[in-house]
Amino acid sequence: MTSAALSDPASAITIAHLEEPGLAAFAEALAQAVRTGGVIYLHGDLGAGKTTTARALIRSLIPDARVKSPTYSLIESYRMPALVIHHLDLYRIADPGELEWLGLDELQSEPSLVLVEWPERGGHSLPAADLVLHLGHAGSGRSVRLEAASEHGARQLASMGYR
Ligand SMILES: Nc1ncnc2c1ncn2[C@@H]1O[C@H](COP(=O)(O)OP(=O)(O)O)[C@@H](O)[C@H]1O
Ligand SMILES: [Mg+2]
């Protein structure tokens, strides 16, 4: 697949309005699609639903997980039998150089699922995305756009069966 094909509408899912239960259901469908691992960037303003989505996704894969927002810790990790989930929130990062101590390049030294809130603050040290999720306010709910950013991500997105 060429990069042009990745911007094809077939490589994206757009939902204009989801209330919180709908967003959780979407996150659960996404969880099933990404359970083999990959990198997901979560974009959206404060309160757009990034942590809500990550929490529902993680709890879909690890039902008894206590999912804390990584706003202060920057990273929270969850071990599954076959992979590790890393949930990052880079909101408080002012300069990508502050991330060096996190060892971002080692996150993928074992099979992993990496969820990144505020990826635009991570600079070049972040692993490249397979899927990019954009969340926005839409009345009392949220809008969702999920885009594939790699062939792996495109296959995962297609497996969700949303059309
Ligand atoms: N689809 C939705 N519809 C309405 N409210 C939502 C929805 N998703 C999340 N919320 C609410 O919005 C608030 C902010 O969510 P959060 O996930 O912390 O945002 P972010 O991580 O993007 O800053 C929470 O109070 C949550 O309950
Ligand atoms: Mg958040």
The amino acid that residue 137 corresponds to is: H
Residues in the 5 Å CB sphere of ion ligand 2: 50-51, 117
Question: How remote is the CA of residue 132 from the centroid of ligand 1, in Å?
Answer: 18
Tell me, using a 6 A CB cutoff, whether residue 70 lines ligand 1: no
Question: How remote is the CA of residue 1 from the centroid of ligand 2, in Å?
Answer: 33
Q: What is the extent of the structural domain holding 66?
A: 8-131+146-159
Kindly state whether residue 78 falls inside one of the protein's structural domains: yes
Kindly state whether residue 1 falls inside one of the protein's structural domains: no
Phi-psi region of 44 (alpha: psi -120 to 50; beta: other; left: phi over 0): left
Kindly state whether residue 54 falls inside one of the protein's structural domains: yes
State how far the Cα of 104 lies from the Cα of 108, in Å rounded to an integer. 8
Domain count, the chain: 1
Residue nearest to atom 9 of ligand 1 (CA): 49
What CATH code is carried by the domain that includes residue 78?
3.40.50.300
Kindly state whether residue 136 falls inside one of the protein's structural domains: no
Please name the residue that has the structure tokens 């594939």: 148
pTM for the structure as a whole? 0.94
The preferred substitution site among 51, 52, 71, 76 for testing ligand 1, maximizing ligand atoms within 8 Å of CB, is: 52
What is the atom index within ligand 1 of the atom nearest the CA of 89?
Answer: 21
Kindly state whether residue 87 falls inside one of the protein's structural domains: yes
Tell me, using a 6 A CB cutoff, whether residue 52 lines ligand 1: yes
pLDDT in tens, 8-63: 656 999 999 999 999 999 999 999 999 999 999 999 999 999 999 999 999 999 99
pLDDT in tens, 67-119: 999 999 999 999 999 999 999 999 999 888 888 888 888 888 899 999 999 99
Question: How remote is the CA of residue 109 from the centroid of ligand 1, in Å?
Answer: 32
Kindly state whether residue 3 falls inside one of the protein's structural domains: no
Tell me, using a 6 A CB cutoff, whether residue 55 lines ligand 1: no
C-alpha torsion angle, residues 52, 58, 59, 62 (rounded to 10): -170
